[in-house]
Amino acid sequence: MMLKWFSKKKEQECEPLNFSVLKTDIHSHFIPGIDDGSPDMETTIALIEKMQGLGFEKIITSPHVMSDFYQNSSEIILKGLADVRKELKAKNINMEIDAVAEYYIDYEFEQKIGKEKFLTFGDNYILVELSFMQAPRNLFEIIFKLQLEGYKVVLAHPERYNYYTIKDYEEFISRGVILQINFLSLIGYYSPQVKKKTESLINSGMVSLVGTDCHNMNHAELYEKCQTQKAWHDLVNSGKLLNATL
């Protein structure tokens, strides 16, 4: 894919590359009122329309499941999904939407492995996140337990865990973990350090999934800028992204 560069730009930017090349967004918080994402149905519909305008054909939304904060069950999430689908149909908005969860790995989550059926997407992918302070000491043991149950582990926004290096990500990949970066990391939304690490992950060919991790309209307004980033073009050109297969 040829890239046409803009001139008179301080940063290296490209012509916008629409998210239609992905088809599917696999990380967002659009079920109203159950986590720190959309607070109500009106906001949810506005966010989904925004995603449609950015080129997405399908959304797999992923509310938080965290024992200390968001004690969402599969039933709560799927009830919310049904309500969103009903509203989309009523408003004649043609957007396919499914729901999974962004599972926070901690002791309580570990106790559920083998006892509870987790929400998954695609080829039995399960989306998990870690503490931003430090990972569980037995993380690889937990990942192995999930794999024994037939789950394929997707690590959400690995670039945001400051305690990990590229060597650590190589270890994850060697253990069958799939890495999913956030679009906003491409523009330095979280920090310049996260942006740099994201670019390193892309350049190293380690990224298999990308998601908006959209929580609100402030996030949604920034994705057009993400479409002009060289790293985004590089990621598409890598041929490694799985989003379009979901």
Q: pLDDT digit string (tens) for 95-145?
A: 999 999 999 999 999 999 999 999 999 999 999 999 999 989 999 999 999
Average pLDDT over residues 30-48: 98
Average pLDDT over residues 15-34: 97
Checking if the pLDDT of 158 tops 80, the result is yes
Average pLDDT over residues 232-243: 97
- The percent of residues in the chain predicted with pLDDT above 90, rounded, is 93
Number of domains in the chain: 1
Average pLDDT over residues 9-16: 72
Q: What is the pLDDT of residue 7?
A: 41
Residue 94 lies in a domain: yes
Q: How confident is the model at residue 11 (pLDDT cuts 50, 70, 90)?
A: low
Range of the domain at 24: 19-245
Residue 2 lies in a domain: no
Checking if the pLDDT of 164 tops 70, the result is yes
10 Å Cβ neighbour count for 98? 18
Q: What is the pLDDT of residue 9?
A: 47
Residue 3 lies in a domain: no
Average pLDDT, the chain: 95
Measured CA to CA, the distance from residue 32 to residue 41 in angstroms comes to: 6
30 neighbors 214 (Cβ within 8 angstroms): yes
Residue 179 lies in a domain: yes
Q: Which of 82, 90, 25 is nearest to 58 (CA)?
A: 25
Measured CA to CA, the distance from residue 174 to residue 226 in angstroms comes to: 29
Q: What is the pLDDT of residue 58?
A: 98
Q: Which of 129, 192, 116, 183 is nearest to 155 (CA)?
A: 129
Q: In whole angstroms, how far apart are CA 95 and each of 17, 60, 62, 109, 182?
A: 20, 11, 16, 31, 21
CATH number where 148 lies? 3.20.20.140
Residue 218 lies in a domain: yes
- Give the single-character DSSP code of 22: T
Q: Give 97's strand partners.
A: 59
Q: What is the pLDDT of residue 13?
A: 82
Residue 89 lies in a domain: yes
pLDDT in tens, 175-230: 999 999 999 999 999 999 999 999 999 999 999 999 999 999 999 999 999 999 99
192 three-state secondary structure = helix
Measured CA to CA, the distance from residue 153 to residue 149 in angstroms comes to: 11
Checking if the pLDDT of 2 tops 90, the result is no
Q: What is the pLDDT of residue 68?
A: 86
Our measurement of the distance from residue 100's CA atom to the centroid of its chain's CA atoms, rounded to an integer in Å, reads 11
Checking if the pLDDT of 1 tops 70, the result is no
Residue 93 lies in a domain: yes
- The percent of residues in the chain predicted with pLDDT above 70, rounded, is 95
Average pLDDT over residues 218-243: 97
